[in-house]
Amino acid sequence: MNGIIVVNKPKGMTSHQVVGKVRRILGIKKIGHTGTLDPDVDGVLPLCIGSATRIAEYLLDQSKAYKGEVTFGFSTTTQDASGEVVEQVDQVFLTEEQVNLAFSRFHGEIEQIPPAFSALKVDGKRAYELARQGEQVVLAARKVTIYSIEILHMDLSTDYPRVQFRVECSKGTYIRTLCHDLGRELGVPSHMSRLTRIRSGPFTLEMSHTLEELERAKEEGEIGRYLLSASVAVEYLPVYSVSDKQERRVLNGMEMTFPLVETFALAVGDRIRIESRSGKLLAIYRVVRVEDQEVFTKPEKVFKE
């Protein structure tokens, strides 16, 4: 079994636990996820099955989209609702104008300092492991991109106002840090009180399935209906379809030359995907030269069964 299954991860489970559960359901060991979700976060978790695990790195680089909620009034050690309270005020007064202005400042390329309770490594150890041991963890700021951020609903009438939002962002963006920084922008402590990932690369919440659905499909012998082609993960790459004869050359990792297609606007270093006539993903190639209306390529990754 090879391909991608999009799981609707439930709250209360780690991404690793979800992988373990799907391994048991499918009876397959070779399964990998494409970027962790915190236990309190639900939503889209694409799993690569079998030979499709080799496509995971291309999914990690793609953008993500979330629906979240920030609560103003207290902050936590983990910057979300699971942590211990570190700062709290009795009451928060915010206007719609203040909130709109604060959100508008988190658009485009921004700098974030990742949370201490994160999976990033410090001297070979996970930051959250050091933080749990009470060690002071200081991570370097890094640049991420917020492609869009939209306020969906504001409830500013309570002592601890809540704002629901939708955000599209680059890889490496911490939404809980975004919520924490929104509070700092407004001069009040804050934390992320809820988060759902609604898209990871090309995979959406509508394409996802619960663990219960997968278990039932396996029992009924219909699990194949939930398996997506690995090609879907890299559909953003220009595609060349090859003949049966060329397919053998591709699977043997040989250099390939293709006619230049103006709509692709290919340049040296760009990636392309190569598929069979039936639409099966065969390989990812890189452009090494463009000359005389021809594209010269070398294999980056070949997908043999």
Active site residues: 38
DSSP state of 277: T
Q: How far is CA 138 from the centre of its chain?
A: 24
Q: Sign of the CA dihedral 77, 81, 84, 85?
A: positive
Measuring CA to CA, which residue among 33, 48, 44 is closest to residue 1?
Answer: 48
Residue ranges in the chain assigned as alpha helix (H):
15-26, 56-60, 96-104, 127-132, 175-186, 211-219, 244-251
Q: Could you write out the three-class secondary structure of 86-117?
A: EEECCCCCCCHHHHHHHHHCCCEEEEECCCCC
Cα dist from 230 to 22, 43, 235, 246, 268, whole Å: 18, 20, 9, 20, 24
Query: CA 195, CA 200: separation in Å to the nearest integer?
Result: 14
* Residue type for position 73: G
Task: Report phi then psi at 245, rounded to 5.
Answer: -65, -45
Q: Find where tokens 């005020």 sit.
A: 89
Query: CA 30, CA 124: separation in Å to the nearest integer?
Result: 25
Measuring CA to CA, which residue among 112, 114, 117 is closest to residue 130?
Answer: 117
For 219-230, b/e burial (b = at least 16 CB within 10 A) is: eeeebeebbbeb
